[in-house]
């Protein structure tokens, strides 16, 4: 009996490994856009990427609801906040990468007013492994207290 049980345990381990070999997939959530009060100025987009089974890079974010999207990072330089464009962002496996106010963000130029009226903008996230993930971002209109980016100079 003992030997049989041990044998069963030995067999069960590799089976369990193969059936549980699907770790959490790569996905994006908590996407929102802080609409700029000035319609001529770009708005800021934020979201959280949840890394999947393999390390990837976020290569681009696209939308049909605006003219153009750029990925930016904020950094202190000589005591001043400056923004640098990002060509790609590393997303390690099973790791969260947040685009959040004060840090990495999307710069969204020329949002379609019809999209603003709807209150959500459809974003497409393009990753280095070929994944294209569509995510709807909630548009928060200017006003309130969550607009630190809007006062910043977006000229690079
Ligand atoms: Cu920016």
Write the pLDDT tens digit of every residue in 79-92.
888 999 999 999 99
Structure token digits, residue 114:
């019809």
Residue with token string 């590393």: 90
Residue with token string 């005591």: 79
pLDDT above 70 as % of the chain:
78
- Cα–Cα distance measured from residue 13 to residue 136, given in angstroms and rounded to the nearest whole number: 40
* Ranges of each domain in the chain: 24-151
Instruction: Write down the pLDDT at residue 100.
Output: 96
pLDDT of 13 above 80:
no
pLDDT of 22 above 80:
no
Ligand 1 center–CA 67 separation, angstroms: 15
Task: Give the mean model confidence (pLDDT) for residues 66-82.
Answer: 92
- Cα–Cα distance measured from residue 132 to residue 123, given in angstroms and rounded to the nearest whole number: 10
Task: Give the mean model confidence (pLDDT) for residues 99-103.
Answer: 95
Ligand 1 center–CA 115 separation, angstroms: 21
- Cα–Cα distance measured from residue 134 to residue 126, given in angstroms and rounded to the nearest whole number: 9
Ligand 1 center–CA 85 separation, angstroms: 7
Q: How confident is the model at residue 23 (pLDDT cuts 50, 70, 90)?
A: confident
- Write the secondary structure of 48-115 as one string of H (helix), E (strand) and C (coil): EEECCCCCEEEEEEECCCEEEEEEEEEEEECCEEEEEECCCEEECCCCEEEECCCCCEEEEEEECHHH
CATH class name, domain 24-151: mainly beta
Q: What is the pTM of this model?
A: 0.78
Task: Give the mean model confidence (pLDDT) for residues 62-68.
Answer: 98
Ligand 1 center–CA 25 separation, angstroms: 29
pLDDT of 95 above 90:
yes
């Amino acid at each position: 009996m003992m030997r049989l049980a041990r044998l069963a345990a030995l067999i069960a381990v590799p089976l369990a490994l193969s059936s549980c070999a699907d770790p959490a997939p790569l996905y994006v959530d908590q996407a929102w856009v802080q609409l700029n009060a000035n319609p001529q100025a770009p708005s800021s987009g934020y979201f959280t990427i949840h890394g999947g089974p393999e390390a990837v890079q976020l290569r681009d974010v696209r939308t049909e609801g605006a003219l153009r999207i750029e990925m930016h990072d904020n950094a202190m330089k000589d005591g001043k906040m400056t923004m640098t464009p990002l060509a790609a962002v590393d997303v390690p496996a099973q790791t969260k990468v947040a685009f959040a106010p004060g840090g990495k963000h999307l710069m969204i130029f020329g949002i379609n007013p019809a999209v603003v009226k709807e209150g959500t903008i459809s974003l497409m996230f393009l990753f280095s492994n070929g994944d294209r993930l569509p995510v709807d971002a909630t548009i928060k209109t200017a006003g309130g207290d969550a607009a630190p980016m809007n006062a910043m100079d977006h000229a690079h």
